[in-house]
Amino acid sequence: MKVVTTPAEIQMLAGQYRSKGLIIGLVPTMGWFHEGHLSLMREARKKADKVIVSLFVNPMQFGPAEDLDSYPYDLDRDCKLAEEIGVDLLYAPAKGVMYPQKFATTVHVEGLTSGLCGESRPGHFDGVTTVVAKLFNQTLPHFAVFGEKDFQQLAVIRQMVADLDFPIEIIGHPIVREDSGLAMSSRNTYLKDNEMAAAHSLSKGIELAKTLVKNNRGISVQQLIERVSEDVTSHRKCDIDYIEIVDKNTLDPCKQVSVDSVLVMAVKINGRIRLIDNSILIAC
């Protein structure tokens, strides 16, 4: 596996792959790999001749009071894990390379970014779409794999790709969970032992919602949200950012539960660790 640190080199190598007719798969990440990331790499490995993994802690998607400075980072550790999967190129640019002096362009997607995480994290998705657009232009992939845990992000990326005519297939990959049900996240490393029960309240809230819907298809959206909110806040360490039921395609709030309904949530643990989770409520 080769580690590349500049846009010019990664673009040159990607261009060489394309000139040989090779299929390139990209897995964009911010590093500190866990099984969720590795599953994305394995999915890319199945479909691509060459797999590129980007590792860049993107400052544009962090707010001023968020955890940019403490976000976990260990390049040597991540290189070993990626190499074991069979990744061909690990692209790890420095901040000054990705955003040189006088950088003045952002990519903004209307509508899909206004609610949920977009409401509580102003500017977050502008940072996401800008860096992903740059990564697409630098790595020239035929497809890119994103985790479905970041459900809103996946919808936003798909919209950007369609609107800007990127010739790239976007593949969503199911959430990978711990045995306990906790959705895997790099931020889980922040959790202390006495915070784990609170963190598990997200996945338990999802299971509660699924059970309620299964037992009563006529249950209202408001009833579901109230029951899940009560369950989550029964843990004193939990502070709800949002719990909503939205249409999986438009992210618009659902008026009633259907096969297209997704429960999405963001919860802060002890006011310092923001976790997200989601699930379809009715299995097809």
Catalytic residue list: 37
Angle between helices 124-139 and 151-163 (to 10 degrees): 60
Q: Which two tokens stand for residue 40?
A: 């994305």
How many CB atoms neighbour CB 76 within 10 A?
6
Q: Which two tokens stand for residue 281?
A: 């409520």
The residue type found at 190 is: Y
CA distance 73 to 148: 22
Alpha helices in the chain (DSSP H): 7-19, 35-47, 75-85, 95-98, 117-120, 124-139, 151-163, 196-199, 201-215, 221-233
Q: Are strands 273-280 and 261-269 parallel, antiparallel or unpaired?
A: antiparallel
Burial category of 192 from C-beta neighbours within 10 Å (exposed 0-12, middle 13-18, buried 19 and up): exposed
Q: Answer for the pair 143, 47: CB distance below 8 angstroms, yes or no.
A: yes
Q: Which residues contact 21 (CB under 8 A, 6 or more apart)?
A: none
Residue owning tokens 């020239």: 140
Q: Answer for the pair 278, 265: CB distance below 8 angstroms, yes or no.
A: yes
